Each structure stands twice: as structure tokens, then as C-alpha cells.
Amino acid sequence: MLDVRAISKRFGHVQAVRELSFQVAPGETYGLLGPNGAGKSTAISVIAGLLVPDDGDVHVHGERITTRSTAARGAIGLVPQEVAVYPDLTARENLRFFGRLYGLAGADLDARVDEVLEVIGLTERAGDRSSEFSGGMNRRLNIGIGLLHRPQLLILDEPTVGVDPQSRNAILDSVEQLSGAGMAVLYTTHYMEEAERLCDRIGIIDEGRLQAEGTRRELTTSIGERDTIRIEASGHLEAAALAIQGIDGVVEATSADGSIRVLAVDAGAVIAEAIAIVSGDGGNVSSVEIAQPDLEAVFLHLTGKALRD
């Protein structure tokens, strides 16, 4: 659906984007995760055909994006960081206004506005002016405007920054629903939790460059981070730890102070067998905890910086 090929963009002496390449398939949510100033908004502007890259190109549905490629750009729904709605219009009037700009009219427009209100969770507030909305509700309306023309690729630029928790959840739910319905989604964020929850694949971006790409599991595994399982139990823990060490996928198992600590490539794949070993040896398991490495650790490893510096 989206094929970004080695795009670069410089502003004066600032190289905002450097040879950035990635692809997004239909039904896939791809996250660009990086701190403020990493180049996410610039990349999005190039992808949506609003900025001309110095190098590289972007294809949507196999068609090259230029500032004039109306067909390919019509397949994109862009939701910019800044909210662009009319405060004096109601939610429904805003959507009708932008729907008409997209060429919708009559019953089709009415039906589409109702559908979009449902997706963004504003059906109940459709008749209220957007000036009365919270920042988060206006963000949701902004997303609704990007959805009106039934795009196949939805691009969201940090849609939850400064948003109340209820709207944040509503936005994340909508994105999950849209990608579940087959839409390709490009989602930029500096919130690791959002990337982990929403994105099938994540590209880690810093100083304009893609530092690494993959599923959360692929990214954490690639830097050698392991899952940790702590099993608290009674019984012959030393012997049990030795037996657990033999399970495929276990990197290390040690016992101390009434518990066994297991390092594993994938905790989910070994935990049942590990518990069976402890119980089978007459032990009584009282608690099990799993800790998985997160994307913060990956970012730190790759860039030497914290994601939220």
C-alpha cells in the first residue's frame, strides 16, 4: 500500500530526514517511534505529497506521489498534529463541510458523516459546537475529517499528544478498529506504550534515520534483551532450576531465596514447562511474574539516549 524509498529532506543545515525507507501493507499498522525532532512530521509531509523530498520517492498503491498526483493522494487520509476544525460549527457541520470539499453529497454524505461520527465516538455530541469540545474531542473530530473520503492509507501524526485519557483511549480504539477493517495505518508517536499496543511493526527513528525496524519482539530480541520469569515456590528449587535450564529457549535458570529466576528468549513459550517442572518435583508454586523488555530499552541501546529526553 505504501512504499517509502530512501527519502531525504534537508532544511538549511538541518538534515531532517535521511534515506528513510519502509513499507506498510493493507491492514497493517506501522509505527514511527522517535523523540521530538526525530523527523517524523517531515517524513509524513513528504509521504503525503505536501513537501518535495531532496532525494528518494514515495509510492502509494504503486503510483508515485508528487505534489500533483491527485489519484494517489486521494488514497491517503492525513491527520496532521494541529487540529484544523471550525470552532463555530458543530461536529456534524464540520464533517459535512469537509465531506463536500471531498466531493461527497446527498445521501452518501449523510451516511458517511454518520459512519465517521460512530468511528470517532462523537455520535452523541454531533450537534455540539467544536468550541465546546475538549482538546481530545477536537482531535477525534480532526481524525474524522481525515476518514471522510474512505482512504486506504491513514496517516496520523502524534494524534494523542496533550489529550485526556478518555479521548486517548477512544483514539487508540478507533485506530485498532480501522486497521482491523483492512486500512493501512501509519502512526507516529513518541509514546512507547502506544507503539507497543497498536503497531504490527515499528520503525525506530532518530535524527532523521531509521535505526531499526520490526515487531516489538524482533526489536527487543535483536539487542539481546531477554524475558525474565520469577517463580516463587517451595521444594527442591536448585534441582528444578537445573532441569529448567534444559528447556529449549531458556538462556539461564538460577535459584535463590525461595524463588527461581529464568531468562528466556520468549517467556510465553517456556513458562508452562517451567512451572510443571517445579510442581512435578513436589514444589508448591505461590507466584509467577514475567517481565518483558520494552522499546525504551531498544531505543536506549540503539541511540544511547532515552526516548523522552
Ligand X SMILES: Nc1ncnc2c1ncn2[C@@H]1O[C@H](COP(=O)(O)OP(=O)(O)OP(=O)(O)O)[C@@H](O)[C@H]1O
Q: How far is the CB of 257 from ligand X (least distance, A)?
A: 45
Stretch that binds ligand X, among 40-48, 123-131, 238-246, 283-291 (CB under 6 A): 40-48
From 157, 150, 68, 50, select the one nearest 109 (Cα to Cα).
Answer: 150
Binding residues with ligand X: total (CB under 6 A): 12
Which burial class, exposed, middle or buried, applies to 308 when counting CB atoms under 10 A from its CB (0-12, 13-18, 19+)?
exposed
**Nearest CA-CA partner of 218 in 196, 192, 188, 245:** 196
User: 11 or 97: whose CB is closer to ligand X?
Assistant: 11
Query: In whole angstroms, how close is the CB of 11 to ligand X at the nearest point?
Result: 3
User: What cell numbers appear for 54 in the block?
Assistant: 531532496
Interface of this chain with ligand X, residues 147 to 176, rule: CB under 6 A: 158
Does residue 39 touch ligand X according to CB under 6 A?
yes
Question: In this structure, what DSSP letter does residue 207 have?
Answer: T
Residues paired with residue 255 on neighbouring β-strands, in sequence order: 260
Among 21, 36, 131, 284, binds ligand X (CB under 6 A): 36
Q: Indicate the SS3 state at residue 90.
A: strand
Stretch of 9-17, 71-79, 84-92, 218-226 lying at the interface with ligand X (CB under 6 A)? 9-17
Helices 135-147, 106-119: axis angle to 10 degrees equals: 140
Taking residue 185's Cβ as centre, other Cβ atoms within 10 Å add up to 24
Residue placing its CB nearer to ligand X in the complex, 42 or 220 = 42
| HEC secondary structure over 119-135 | HCCCHHHCCCEHHHCCH
Amino acid, res. 308:
R
For 296, residues 6+ apart whose C-beta sits below 8 A from its C-beta are: 192, 306, 307
* Calpha distance 148→250 (Å, rounded): 50
Which of 29, 41, 130, 167 is close enough to bind ligand X by CB under 6 A?
41
Decide if residue 308 touches ligand X (CB under 6 A). no
Q: Which stretch binds ligand X (CB under 6 A): 29-37, 196-204, 288-296, 299-307?
A: 29-37
Find the shortest distance in angstroms from Cβ 103 to ligand X: 30
Q: Least distance (Å) from ligand X to the CB of residue 16?
A: 3
Rule CB under 6 A: is residue 16 a binding residue for ligand X? yes
For the CB of residue 4, give the shortest distance to ligand X in the complex, in Å.
14
Q: What are phi and psi of 26, to 5 degrees?
A: -55, 140
- Shortest CA distance to 208 belongs to which of 34, 3, 13? 34
Q: Is 14 in the site for ligand X (CB under 6 A)?
A: yes
Choices 39-47, 148-156, 219-227, 299-307 (CB under 6 A): range interacting with ligand X: 39-47
Q: Mention every residue, 6+ apart, whose C-beta is less than 8 A from residue 137.
A: 122, 125, 130, 167
Is there binding between residue 38 and ligand X (CB under 6 A)?
yes
Least Å distance, CB 18 to ligand X, is 11
In the chain, the amino acid numbered 212 is A
Verify binding: residue 1, ligand X, rule CB under 6 A: no
The window from 38-46, 111-119, 278-286, 290-298 that contacts ligand X (CB under 6 A) reads 38-46
User: Does 11 help bind ligand X (rule: CB under 6 A)?
Assistant: yes
* Least distance CB 295 / ligand X (angstroms): 16
**Which residues contact ligand X (rule: CB under 6 A)?**
11, 14, 16, 34, 36-42, 158
